Amino acid sequence: MTTIENGSGTQELKGKRALVTGGSRGIGEAIVRQLLDAGAEVLTTARSATSTVPEGAAFVAADVRTRAGAETLAAAAQEVLGGVDILVHNAGGARPYESTSAIPDEEWQDQLDLNYLASVRLDSLLVPGMRERRSGVIVHISSAAVPATPPPFLHYTAAKAALENYSRGLALELAPSGVRVNTVTPGRTATPGGELTREQWARLDPAQGENNSPVPLGREGQPDDIADAVVFLVSDRASWVTGSNLVVDGGEFPRG
């Protein structure tokens, strides 16, 4: 584990302890970096050791798809941070299949474990401490693909849809305890993982590879666009926001 050093940004999160899953690259790396810049102490995780974790963050290797991984993370958070005030569930991902019937049972289970149950398990371990302190913020990262439900990703979007429903219900349950729970839903974002997924989809469906429909706001999202939303939601500026789903997609995907 690395030594924690606070960042030198706004410091609005100084004194806060944050745990971010999947924080070694892309959106997760941007979230970790911005939390550090805002003054938080940050612990992050990936399945294996990595050199790409932002400087100043602590790191522990854990597989969030498993109960054992969740327990490892919860124990590390207690050891390194002394508890968790901010919990951001960013770990996730999927690969496309040519049809829903081609998705094997084990892939359905893996998607549920990674994109839904990972949050449920870790929340169950860390929420009691938040309840006891009567404070805390949880952010679940979903996907703007949920309402579109593209068939090659149905295993992924079904898990993320479950996550959104769970997040809303958990927010209602925890609100009387002073704990806030929200969802951030990214759209098309420039990350290595996102680019790989789009390439895989284009190989299955060449027409999809030619789909260059513009985002209404005129550009692809950047990881910092998503991190900005997360930092807002975990800050005191959003102290009256819970049970919400903040869609950050440049207006690309209609919802409602």
Structural element, H or E, at residue 165: helix 154-174
Compute the distance between CA of residue 199 and CA of residue 203 in angstroms, rounded to an integer. 6
Compute the distance between CA of residue 245 and CA of residue 185 in angstroms, rounded to an integer. 7
Q: Is 97 a catalytic residue?
A: no
Q: What sign has the CA pseudo-torsion 242, 125, 23, 9? A: positive
Tens of pLDDT along the chain (256 residues) come to: 443 444 446 799 999 999 999 998 999 999 999 999 999 999 999 988 776 799 999 999 999 999 999 999 999 999 999 999 999 999 999 889 988 999 999 999 999 999 999 999 999 999 999 999 999 999 999 999 899 888 899 999 999 999 999 999 999 999 999 999 999 999 999 876 666 566 665 666 666 554 567 889 999 999 999 999 999 999 999 999 999 999 999 998 876 5
**Predicted structure pTM score:** 0.91
CATH class of the region 17-248: alpha beta
* pLDDT value, residue 5: 44
* pLDDT value, residue 249: 94
Compute the distance between CA of residue 108 and CA of residue 244 in angstroms, rounded to an integer. 27
**Which residue is catalytic, options 97, 116, 156, 166?**
156
Q: Write the pLDDT tens digit of every residue in 198-209.
A: 666 566 666 655
Provide the residue ranges of all domains of the chain, joining segments of one domain with +: 17-248
* pLDDT value, residue 8: 45
Q: Are 160 and 142 in contact (CB under 8 A)?
A: yes
